[in-house]
Structure formats: C-alpha cells, structure tokens
Amino acid sequence: MRVVIAAAGTGGHINPAIAIANKIKEEQPNSKIIFIGTTRGLENDLVPRAGYELKTIDAYGLSKKINIDNIKKMTKTIKGFGQAKKIIKDFKPDIVIGTGGYICGAVITAAHKLKIPTMLHESNAFPGKAVKLLAKKTDTILIGFEEARNRIKNAKNIVLTGTPVKTKKQYISDKQKQQILSNIGLKGTKPVLLVFGGSQGAKAINDAILNIIKNKYDLQYQIIWATGPNQYDAIKVELETENINIDNIKDVKIFPYIYNMEEMLNICDLVMCRSGAMTITEVSTVEKPAIFIPLPNVSENHQEYNAKVLVNIGAAKMILNKELESINLNKFITELITDKDMLKSMSQKSGIVAQKDVQDKIYKEIEKLLH
C-alpha cells in the first residue's frame, strides 16, 4: 500500500496520523508511507522521530481580514496546492489521509483532483474548518466523537472510530500505587489530583494551583502537577519568594513535564486539565473523573465542545478559564475528590465514551475505501 498522510501543527493532529501510519505498517509491512506537513510545526520533530519521511509545502490558516500579511499567506497557500499536487503525482499513492488542520486543504483537494481516494480523521467534537470545507471532496470522514457527526454537512460517508492514543487502562493495586507515589516523593493515602495543561502547560491553571500552594491551604488531597517546561522556572522563583522549596512541598510534587503520563493517569483519583481531543480520549480510556478547563480563544471554541462530551453524561465537571479562582477551586476540588461515590460514578460514565480497538476500526475503513 502506498499512502500519503497530511498532518501539521500540533501533536493533536500529528500523533493520530503517526498511529494510523504505524497500524498500516503493522498490517502491511511493505507499505510505503510519506507525510506532508509544513516547515513550522511539530511534524518536523515527531514525524522523522517516528521513522517516516516528511515532505513540506506552504500552507497557512486563512483569516477573513484583508491585509498584506494575509494576502501573502493566501498566495503561499495557493502555491502549496501546486506543491502538494506534484508530491502526490510523483509518489502515486493508493490513498491520501488527512488528520485535520489547514494542511489538509491543499493535500486533500489535490488528491481529489487527481481522483485518488481520500480520508479525513476529525478528533474534535466540534469539527475544524478544514474538515467542514473538505467534506464534499472526501470519500470517508472518521470521527473521534459521535457529537461531530451532525456538525459535518454534505459528507459522503462518516464513521465513528474514536481517536488513536497510546494510553491504556491498567489495573494498579493500592500497594503498587503507594510504591509509585513513594518513588516520586509523595507519602500517605490522601487522594491524588493530577494537574497538567498540555505539553506546554497552561498559565491560568498554573496560576490557580500556585495560589493554592502559596496560601498553604490545608490540603485534603495530594497534587501531581506538570507545569510545562517553559513555565517551571518562573513557578520555582515565585515559590522561592514565599520561602517555599519547589522540591519539598508537603503533599505536592511538581514537574516541568510528565514523561510517564500513562502511569500517572492510572494512579490518580481525579484529573484537572485542558480539553483537547487527545486529552479527552486519554481520560475516558483510563476511565478517570475529570475537571476540564477548556482553552479559550481557539478555533470554533472546540475545547468547550470536547469537554461537554463527558460533562453531559456526568463523567466530568467544567470550569471556564475566567472562573478560575484559587479559594473556590480548592473548595470545589476538595468536595469532589473526597466524595468516593461521586468519583466512582463519574469513572464508570467516563468509560462509556471510550472507543475500543480504534486502530483496527480505522484500518478496516482504509481497506473498505480501497476495495
């Protein structure tokens, strides 16, 4: 099988694309797969690291504003269509797959013009502009959440597959949990709150948790907190002004980044985080109750729609960015994390959303489209 995959920008677009490529390779080891991206996004690191060739084109998200900068971007994006068409013509793929983002506009359109089968994967509950605009030209659209289906008009074929993630649910005994906590410097049997804001951190979430620690509230829970690499040093300095050593805070462990996120998700009692599609999928996969704080000012407000997938079935709570305030947040966390019956109910509901055998479902749709 010869496959072109379009993925650019964030890990939320690129990681599902790599998972799809890996599944194709697993099923058909002789497959030839290339990625098309830009010179600016995370694809330049993640795609080669995964062992795949990356070709780049000019592509930009277009704005309705008319100014010199946007006219330049539009001109380059039109040029990108020609670049994509040439790559596809030269490679002669059996199928072209896009995983969302503006890169898909040029690549899927070029493939459609060349009469090559096309597929898009949309991981968000509220589909992005690219997927909506390309729906008519795309043979099959795969969705991560059922809620996306009615928001995509004029599509030929929509299939719910879920979004591929590496995270898996694990059974961890109380003894194992205590050992894992001990390994990172936490002791005791208080419930565990896991806090993170994506790979770069989230300043609003960080500020709220920082204030809880600085005000030395009598915590009835333990905190495992990933600040994001770019914010860790500033938080360390801020704590030092209060004579607090970042490495020696009772019931709190702070990291720039959590590399063993699967393990941390499985041992925690409650998650507090943003609500990107990958995060929502991981949380539901490990069946954890969550407090979601959607990232504001993102395209189509899609993080709020993602959060509502779990909030609407009682598996999660949502706090808006503008509502974050440390005293009320601490009270809210305490009431929730100490209510074992509520946490158990939310966990059970969270698992309902999780799709099983996601990669298998996606590969089955690829085969269907080709045959």
Same domain, yes or no: 130 and 194 = no
251-292 residue pLDDT tens = 999 999 998 999 999 999 999 999 999 999 999 999 999 999
Q: Structurally, how many domains does the chain consist of?
A: 2
Same domain, yes or no: 129 and 223 = no
pLDDT of amino acid 73: 57
- Residue 215's domain spans which residues? 174-353
Helix 203-214 to helix 229-240 angle (10° resolution) is 20
Closest CA to 134 of 164, 163, 162, 154: 154
Same domain, yes or no: 244 and 334 = yes
Is there a domain that residue 169 lies in? Answer: no
* Helix and strand counts by DSSP (H, E) for the chain: 14, 13
Same domain, yes or no: 340 and 246 = yes
Tokens of 244: 């607090």
Same domain, yes or no: 54 and 187 = no
pLDDT of amino acid 68: 65
> What's CA 123's distance to the chain center, in Å?
8
Same domain, yes or no: 79 and 191 = no
Same domain, yes or no: 315 and 363 = no
Q: Which residues of the chain have pLDDT under 70?
A: 59-79, 198-201
The tokens 């040093």 sit on which residue?
233
The set of residues, in sequence order, having a beta carbon less than 8 Å from that of 121 and lying 6+ positions away, is 16, 17, 20, 97, 98, 99, 100, 141, 142, 143, 144, 161, 163, 362
pTM: 0.87
Is there a domain that residue 346 lies in? Answer: yes
Is there a domain that residue 18 lies in? Answer: yes
Same domain, yes or no: 157 and 85 = yes
Handedness of CA 320, 101, 61, 9 (dihedral sign): positive
Is there a domain that residue 199 lies in? Answer: yes
Same domain, yes or no: 6 and 99 = yes
Is there a domain that residue 319 lies in? Answer: yes
Same domain, yes or no: 186 and 311 = yes
Same domain, yes or no: 190 and 339 = yes
Same domain, yes or no: 188 and 278 = yes
- Say whether 367 sits in a helix, a strand or coil: helix
Which CATH number do you get for residue 159? 3.40.50.2000
Closest CA to 45 of 7, 99, 84, 102: 7
> What's CA 302's distance to the chain center, in Å?
12
Is there a domain that residue 168 lies in? Answer: no
Q: Are 60 and 76 in contact (CB under 8 A)?
A: yes
